[in-house]
C-alpha cells in the first residue's frame, strides 16, 4: 500500500540536497517514486557498502564514465563519510550534476568531521506519517501502531516494533556511536519509555540504568542525531523567575515506538495514558509542520515551580492539549496564568465538537476540536 507523502521539493538545475530522517520513514520509497530515472547507490547493500568504504573515489570514476549523468541518489550516505569528499568534488567540477544525499543519522558525520558540502546542499527532513497523509484519525491505531508507514498499515505491529527497537535500533546505535556496551543502551531505552514527555531527570535515569549522568546525556543526543526524538526546551521568561528555565523534556519521534517502550497497549481512546499520547501526537504534528514548512521559530513548553504548565508555546501561540469532551475553567489554570504575563493567543486542542471562544477577565481562549485545529494548522492559518 503506497501512501502519497506531503513533502514536495523541486531542485533547481545544479542544486543538491540532503534528505534526513529516521529509518523506515519511507525515504527510499519516496525517492524512487519521485525520481525513477536517477542513478541510485544504496549503501545498505553489503557489497556496495564495502566497495565504497574501501575506495570512495570509485563513485567519481563510475559517474564520470556515464553518458550525461544528471541526478544521483546516495542512500544511507552516513555509512561512508569520506564519500562526501567525492560528492563535493563532483559538484564543483560537474555543474550539471545533482545529488540527493539520503541519511538516517548525522552523528557519524559530525564525529568524523565529514564534509557537509559547505552549505552547497539544501536540507530536507522526512518524517513518519503526518495529518495530511492520513485519511482518518484512528486514535487507537495511531497510538498502538505508530506512524511509520510499514507499521501503520499492519494489522498487528508489535513484532515489527520490537524488531525496530531491539534489532535495528540497537545495532545502528552501536555502529553510529561506537558504543561498547549495548546492554546499557537497551536499559536506557526501557527507562525512556516511562519518562518520555516528562522533565528529564538525568540522575534518576542514570541510577535506574546503572550508568553515569554524562552517559545518559550522550544517549539522548544519539537519539536526536538519529532523528529518533526531539528535545523540547522550556520557555524562558524574564517576567517570572519562578519557572523552569533549564530542564528540557524529550519526545520520541513516533507514538507507536513510545507506547511500545512504555509497554502500554490501548483498547480505547480514553484515560490518562491516552491523554499523554494525544499530547505527544499534537507535538509531532507541530514539529512536522515546522520542518516541512521551514518554520524557524522553536517550540517550547512553560512550567512554573508550583506546577502550572502550558504544553506548547510557538511564535505568538500558547497551546494546551486536553483529552476531554468539554473544556471548563479548571482546565485552563496554567494557560490563563501564562496569558496574564505574556502577549500571546491562548488555545486549547481537545475533543469538543465545535470551535468556540471562551472569555475570562478579558482573556480569550480559543477551544479547538482536534481535527479543526489540524486542518487550520496544515492550511497555514495557525502558525503563520
Per-residue pLDDT at 112: 74
Average pLDDT, the chain: 93
Q: What angle do CA 259, 372, 366 make, to 5 degrees?
A: 100
Per-residue pLDDT at 120: 85
Residue 63 exposure: Cα atoms within 13 Å on the Cβ side: 27
Which fold is adopted by the domain 16-126?
A: Rossmann fold (3.40.50)
Per-residue pLDDT at 136: 92
Query: From residue 362, how far is each of 123, 154, 334, 366, 367 by CA, in Å?
Result: 43, 49, 16, 13, 16
Contact 240, 310 (CB under 8 A): no
For helices 182-195 and 213-225, the axis angle rounded to 10 degrees is: 80
List, in sequence order, every residue forming a beta bridge with 99; answer none if it has no partner: 72
CA trace torsion 336, 338, 344, 345 (10° rounding): -30
Among residues 301, 182, 208, which one has the least CA distance to residue 251? Answer: 301
Per-residue pLDDT at 216: 94
* % of the chain with per-residue pLDDT over 70: 98
DSSP string for 323-372: --SS--GGGGHHHHHHHHHS--EEEEEES-SS-EEEEETTEEEEEEEHHH
pTM, to two decimals: 0.95
Per-residue pLDDT at 253: 98
How do the domains of the chain map onto residue ranges? 16-126, 132-378
Among residues 28, 35, 180, 51, which one has the least CA distance to residue 104? Answer: 28
Mean pLDDT by 10 residues, the chain (384 residues): 82 92 95 93 96 96 90 95 94 92 89 78 96 95 97 91 89 79 89 94 95 94 95 84 85 97 94 97 99 96 93 97 95 95 96 96 96 98 94
Residues of the chain by 3-state class (helix, strand, coil), percent to 5: 45, 20, 40
Q: What angle do CA 110, 188, 258 make, to 5 degrees?
A: 90
Per-residue pLDDT at 182: 83
Phi, psi of 292 (to 5 degrees): -80, -15
The pLDDT tens digits for 13-70 are 889 999 999 999 999 999 999 999 999 999 999 999 999 999 999 999 999 999 888 8
Per-residue pLDDT at 241: 60
C-alpha cell at 381: 492559518
Amino acid at each position: 500500500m503506497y501512501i502519497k507523502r506531503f513533502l514536495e521539493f523541486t531542485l533547481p538545475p545544479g542544486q543538491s540536497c540532503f534528505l534526513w530522517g529516521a529509518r523506515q520513514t519511507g525515504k527510499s520509497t519516496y525517492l524512487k517514486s519521485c525520481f525513477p530515472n536517477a542513478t541510485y547507490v544504496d549503501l545498505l547493500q553489503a557489497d556496495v557498502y564495502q566497495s565504497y568504504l574501501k575506495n570512495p573515489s570509485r563513485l567519481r570514476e563510475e559517474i564520470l564514465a556515464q553518458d550525461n549523468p544528471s541526478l544521483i541518489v546516495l542512500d544511507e550516505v552516513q555509512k561512508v563519510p569520506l564519500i562526501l569528499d567525492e560528492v563535493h568534488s563532483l559538484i564543483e567540477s560537474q555543474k550539471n550534476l545533482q545529488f540527493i544525499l539520503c541519511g538516517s543519522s548525522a552523528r557519524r558525520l559530525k564525529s568524523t568531521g565529514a564534509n557537509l558540502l559547505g552549505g552547497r546542499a539544501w536540507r530536507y527532513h522526512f518524517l513518519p506519517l503526518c495529518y495530511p497523509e492520513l485519511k482518518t484519525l484512528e486514535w487507537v491505531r495511531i497510538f498502538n501502531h505508530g506512524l511509520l508507514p510499514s507499521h501503520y498499515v499492519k494489522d498487528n505491529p508489535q513484532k515489527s516494533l520490537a524488531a525496530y527497537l531491539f534489532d535495528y535500533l540497537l545495532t545502528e546505535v552501536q555502529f553510529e556511536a561506537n558504543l561498547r556496551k549495548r546492554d546499557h543502551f537497551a536499559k536506557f531505552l526501557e527507562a525512556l519509555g516511562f519518562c518520555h514527555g516528562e522533565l528529564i531527570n538525568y540522575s534518576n535515569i542514570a541510577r535506574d540504568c546503572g550508568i553515569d549522568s554524562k552517559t545518559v546525556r550522550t544517549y539522548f543526543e544519539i537519539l536526536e542525531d538519529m532523528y529518533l526524538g526531539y528535545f523540547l526546551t522550556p520557555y524562558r521568561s524574564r517576567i517570572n523567575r519562578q519557572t523552569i528555565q533549564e530542564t528540557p523534556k524529550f519526545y520520541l519521534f513516533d507514538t507507536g515506538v513510545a507506547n511500545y517502550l512504555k509497554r502500554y497497549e490501548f483498547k480505547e481512546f480514553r484515560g490518562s495514558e491516552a491523554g499523554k499520547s494525544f499530547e505527544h501526537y499534537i507535538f509531532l504534528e507541530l514539529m512536522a509542520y515546522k520542518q516541512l514548512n521551514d518554520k524557524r521559530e522553536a517550540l517550547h513548553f512553560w512550567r512554573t515551580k508550583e506546577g502550572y504548565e502550558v504544553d506548547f508555546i510557538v511564535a505568538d501561540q500558547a497551546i494546551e492539549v486536553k483529552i476531554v469532551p468539554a473544556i471548563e475553567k479548571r482546565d485552563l489554570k496554567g494557560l490563563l496564568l501564562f496569558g496574564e504575563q505574556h502577549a500571546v493567543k491562548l488555545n486549547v486542542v481537545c475533543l469538543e465538537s465545535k470551535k468556540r471562544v471562551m472569555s475570562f477577565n478579558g482573556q480569550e481562549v480559543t477551544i479547538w476540536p482536534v481535527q479543526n485545529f489540524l486542518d487550520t494548522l496544515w492550511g497555514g492559518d495557525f502558525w503563520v
